[in-house]
Amino acid sequence: MDRQGDTTRNTTHFGFKDVPLSEKQTLVNDVFHSVASRYDLMNDLMSAGLHRAWKDIMVTTLNPPRNDRPFALLDVAGGTGDVAFRAVQASGAGFHATVCDINPDMLRVGRERAEARRLDDRVSFVEGNAEALAFPDRAFDGYTVAFGIRNVPRIDLALAEAFRVLRPGGRFLCLEFSTVDMPGLDRLYDLFSFNVIPPLGRAVTGDAESYRYLVESIRKFPRPDAFAEMIRAAGFARVSWQSLSGGIVALHSGWRL
């Protein structure tokens, strides 16, 4: 199965469909417009709450300072703010998170959640595209992206932008669905993905297609070693990744040195 898209024909994947590169973002935006209000509930139902543990592992790996030392995090494709809230709660008074996402509906839910948690002074929400960030060079100490990069049409541009906005010594962390590597679990996971998730999406959000895109897009995302190579190609050093939950998810890491 081709996992990269055919860049010579200027096409890419939208789930299992080949689409013109220029159309993918609009299709992705429709997905998150459709599911925004029930996005967090669906994450809990689909993963039986496991996404919380995966995000906590990312925040622990980021290791933000617990004291007053300033630390600026950029959480790209940060949607409803889940990673940013976890990072703020794990850090000291000098920490600030900027959630950047292309979808105003996801950001609206995020702002409401921040206000409800009284975290609106510690987390800012900014509309923007991962492929062309409106932030200066070397502005952030950390860059996180959770379950977001798979949706970006030109992943190489997003990685180059991640490198540009990190200060030297800054860390890049990417949590993404990966390739199940545990015999037995792979067949169960496929059965669950294709037969349970879209109907669950229909029941909870009224939209099975968006969740069919989710399970298909996971199969099209590069394998972890190939993705690590892309991170290296963007200029990052000490690139590594760890497989979580039998390969359902991988946490990728790189440093701007």
Closest to ligand SAM by CB, 162 vs 228, is 162
Least Å distance between CB 28 and ligand SAM?
5
Q: Which stretch binds ligand SAM (CB under 6 A): 11-19, 96-104, 165-173, 230-238?
A: 96-104
Least Å distance between CB 98 and ligand SAM?
12
Cα separation, 149 vs 4, whole angstroms: 13
Which residues are registered as beta bridge partners of 173?
Answer: 144, 253
Q: Which of 12, 103, 193, 217 binds ligand SAM (CB under 6 A)?
A: 103
Q: Any contact of residue 91 with ligand SAM (CB under 6 A)?
A: no
Q: Any contact of residue 178 with ligand SAM (CB under 6 A)?
A: no
Closest to ligand SAM by CB, 47 vs 94, is 47
Q: Which of 130, 162, 174, 230 binds ligand SAM (CB under 6 A)?
A: 130
Least Å distance between CB 204 and ligand SAM?
15
Strand, helix or coil at 92?
Answer: coil
Least Å distance between CB 67 and ligand SAM?
27
Least Å distance between CB 90 and ligand SAM?
16
Strand 71-76 relative to strand 140-146, pairing:
parallel
What does DSSP assign to residue 132? B
Cβ contact 94:65 at 8 Å: yes
Least Å distance between CB 68 and ligand SAM?
27
Please report the beta strands in the chain, taking only residues with DSSP state E, as ranges in sequence order: 11-14, 17-20, 71-76, 95-101, 123-127, 140-146, 166-177, 237-244, 249-255
Residues 143-162 that bind ligand SAM (CB under 6 A): 146-148, 151-152
Cβ contact 34:210 at 8 Å: yes
Q: Which of 87, 106, 165, 197 binds ligand SAM (CB under 6 A)?
A: 106
Residue nearest to ligand SAM (CB): 79
Burial string for 196-209 (b: 16+ CB within 10 Å, else e) reads ebbebbeebbebee
Q: Any contact of residue 79 with ligand SAM (CB under 6 A)?
A: yes
Q: Which helix H or strand E contains 163, and what residues bound it?
A: helix 155-165
Cα separation, 123 vs 150, whole angstroms: 24
> Given the rule CB under 6 A, which residues bind ligand SAM?
25, 28, 32, 76-79, 82-83, 101-103, 106, 129-131, 146-148, 151-152
